[in-house]
Amino acid sequence: MRIALNARILQAPRTGIGHYVAELANALAGEADIELALFHGWGWSTVLPEAAMPGYSRLTPLLRQIPGAYQARRWLEQKRFDQGRTQAIDLYHEPSLWPLSFDGPTVITLHDLTHLHYPETQPPARLREIERRVADGVRQASLILTDSQYIADEAQAHFSLPAERFVVAPLGVAARFHPRSPESIDAVLKTHGVEAREYFLCVGTLEPRKNLSLALRAHARLPESVRQRFPLLIVGMAGWQREQFNEELHQALACGHVCLLGYLPDEHVAQLLAGARALIFPSIYEGFGLPVLEAMACGTPVILTRRSAMPEVAGSAGNYVEPDETDGLCDAMSRLIEDLAHWQACREAGLLQARLFTWERCAQVTASAYRQAMGG
C-alpha cells in the first residue's frame, strides 16, 4: 500500500501532533506492506524533515492578520497535493483536524475536540476554518483514529457516528524518554541552574487550557525555603491568549523561584523530564497527554488532573488533583518532596504504566486501520 501522510505540521516547531506524525512515520517503516509518501504542504518527500521551516514562527502570527489567509493557504496546499503526486496513492492519512480532498479511502486522526469545548483557545480565523472543515472531514473519512477511548466516545456522540467508524490507537514513547543517572544530565541541568530531583517541571504550550495558573499558585504556597530548593521550570512555546495569565506569570518570575525556559530541543526536554522531582500537568482537557507518558517513562512521578483522557494514560500511577484546587496541588507537591517512599512508589508505578504504550503498537493499529479502510 502506498499511503499519503500529510506531514505539513513538521514545518513548525514540534509539539504534540508534530511528534505524533514523526514517531508514527518512523514506526510505520516496520510494516512491510506500507510505503509512505509524505506531503509537506508545498510538495512531496520520502524523508522526514529534521527541523522546523525557517521563519515559520514568524509567519504564523502574520497569517492571522491577513483576511482569508487560511483559505488561501489551504487552496494552494490542495493544488500542490493534487499536482505533485508522481505515483498512485492507495490511501490518504490526515493526522490533524481536517483532510484535503482525495478521491480514494481516507483515514483521519482526531486528537481531541478542543475547538468545541474551548473555542477561546483558538485564533478566531483558525476557529472559523476548523468549524467549517472538521465536520466535512469526519464524514469524508473511511475510519477515524483517536489517541484515546475518551475522544472516540466523545466524537462518536458529537457527530452521531457508529462506533465501528473509530479505531483507538494510543500513542507511544520515543526512545529518548528513559531513566537517566544524575551525572548524564548534569550539563543540561546546570544550564538552567538546577540539580537532579530538585525542581518541578511543567511542559506544554502556554495557553489557558493547560491551566498553568494552578501550578503557579500552588508553587507559590510552598514555604519560601522549599520554593528556593525546588523551583518550578516551565517549558513550552507561547500559545493563544497567553496574556490571560501574564500577570500571574510575571509575578512568579519576579520572585525568582519560577523559570520560563521557552521552547527547547527535544533532547533537553527529555533530560529535564528525567531529572525532575515531578511533572506537574494540570491541564483541563487533553486528547491524550503525551508529556505525562514521557515523564513516567523517564521514572518521574506525575501530578495531573483526572480529566478527559489523562486517566487512560497515567492509570493508577498518577497523583490526581482537581483543576481548581490550589491547596490540593500544593499538598501533592509537598508529599513528593517529604515522603520518599511515596515518591519511589510513584516512580516504579509510572515506569510499569509507561511500558504499556509503544509507537510500534500505535503503528500496528494504524496499519491495520489502513487495511480495513481499503477493504482488507
The helix/strand/coil state of 160 is: coil
- Give pLDDT tens digits for 73-100: 888 889 999 887 768 999 999 998 778 9
Lowest mean pLDDT among 27-36, 224-233, 251-260, 271-280: 251-260
Q: Which of 30-39, 154-163, 206-215 has the lowest mean pLDDT?
A: 206-215
Is there a single domain that holds both residue 277 and residue 364?
no
Q: How far apart are CA 318 and CA 301, in angstroms?
A: 7
The answer to whether residue 20 sits within a structural domain is: yes
Longest dimension (CA), the chain: 64
pLDDT digits (tens, 9 = 90+) for 237-295: 776 545 555 677 777 777 779 999 998 999 999 999 999 999 999 999 999 999 999 99
Judged by DSSP in three states, 259 sits in: strand
Identity (one letter) of the amino acid at 309? A
Q: Are residues 148 and 196 in the same domain?
A: no
Please check the confidence at residue 64 and state whether its pLDDT lies above 60. no
Does the pLDDT value for residue 338 go beyond 60? yes
Task: Assess whether pLDDT exceeds 70 at residue 130.
Answer: yes
CATH code where residue 210 lies:
3.40.50.2000
Give the pLDDT mean for 17-26: 94
In a domain, 65, yes or no: yes
pTM (2 d.p.): 0.90
pLDDT of 58 over the 50 cut: no
- C-alpha to C-alpha distance for 214 and 229, rounded to whole angstroms: 20
Q: Which DSSP letter does residue 84 get?
A: S
Q: Tell me which H or E stretch contains 25.
A: helix 16-28
Give the Cβ contact number of residue 337 at 10 Å: 17
Mean pLDDT taken over the chain: 89
Number of domains in the chain: 2
CA 221 to chain CA centroid, Å, is: 29
Q: Are residues 156 and 195 in the same domain?
A: no
Give the ranges where 244-325 is alpha helix by DSSP (H): 246-255, 266-275, 290-297, 310-314
Q: Which of 95, 97, 89, 91 is nearest to 70 (CA)?
A: 97
Q: Is residue 177 part of a domain?
A: no
Residue 60 predicted with pLDDT over 60: no
Range of the domain at 41: 2-172+358-373
